[in-house]
Amino acid sequence: MPGLATAVVEERCVDALAGRPRTGPADAWPTVFVVDDDECLRALVGDWIEDAGFRAERLASGEACLAALATGSPVAVVLDLHMWGMGGAKTLDAIRATRPDVPVIAMTGESDPGIALDLIDRGASEFLLKPVTRNQLVRSVLAVTGRPAVALQPG
């Protein structure tokens, strides 16, 4: 369990990320696909990604993700494991088969280490356990896209 100091540092990082200036038109920002069948989580994660200076394309299913991937060029995909229809694992397999260059961050609420290892074996770039914090998610997106993290100021 993170201590108070960790929470304060994470909040500073989050504040710094949220304040990052965006330049140019929104459609020129790098796009991250957010794939989750839970509308509230999809909206929240998309907002966090946009706060970090990306454009979030919110998609409600694996099928919608694959259709968007056929014409889009995301810099990353944030993918929920458990969804109706085509689940996250099958969606990950399809992304790897068609667009192996696109990093995928897999998320699930299941804490079974075997699931994480299976997703990494299938080609996930990172694995996040829900509930995920804004800071964890943004740091993962920055890491897989090769974008620099925000330096924290002391005090």
pLDDT band at 100 (very low <50, low <70, confident <90, very high): very high
Instruction: Tell whether 10 is covered by a domain.
Output: yes
Q: pTM for the whole thing?
A: 0.80
pLDDT band at 26 (very low <50, low <70, confident <90, very high): low
C-alpha 12/C-alpha 93 separation (Å) is 36
Q: Which residue has the tokens 């060029």?
A: 73
**pLDDT (average), residues 14-29:** 53
Instruction: Tell whether 155 is covered by a domain.
Output: no
Q: Which residue has the tokens 């540092």?
A: 9
Instruction: Tell whether 61 is covered by a domain.
Output: yes
Q: How many domains does the chain have?
A: 1
Say which DSSP state 126 is in. E
Q: Which domain holds residue 58?
A: 4-145
Instruction: Tell whether 59 is covered by a domain.
Output: yes
More confident residue, 128 or 26: 128
Instruction: Tell whether 154 is covered by a domain.
Output: no
Does pLDDT of 58 surpass 80?
yes
- Is the distance from CB of 125 to CB of 144 less than 8 angstroms? yes
Instruction: Tell whether 151 is covered by a domain.
Output: no
Write out pLDDT tens, residues 35-55: 999 999 999 999 999 999 899
Does pLDDT of 71 surpass 70?
yes
Burial of 154 (0-12, 13-18, 19+ CB in 10 A): exposed
pLDDT band at 84 (very low <50, low <70, confident <90, very high): confident
Instruction: Tell whether 117 is covered by a domain.
Output: yes
Say which DSSP state 151 is in. P
CATH of the domain at 11: 3.40.50.2300
Tell me the DSSP string of 51-110.
HTT-EEEEESSHHHHHHHHHH---SEEEEES--SSS-HHHHHHHHHHH-TTS-EEEEES-
Backbone phi, psi, residue 50, to 5°: -65, -35
Confidence at residue 113, expressed as pLDDT on a 0 to 100 scale: 83
Instruction: Tell whether 152 is covered by a domain.
Output: no
Q: How many CB atoms lie within 10 A of CB 54?
A: 24
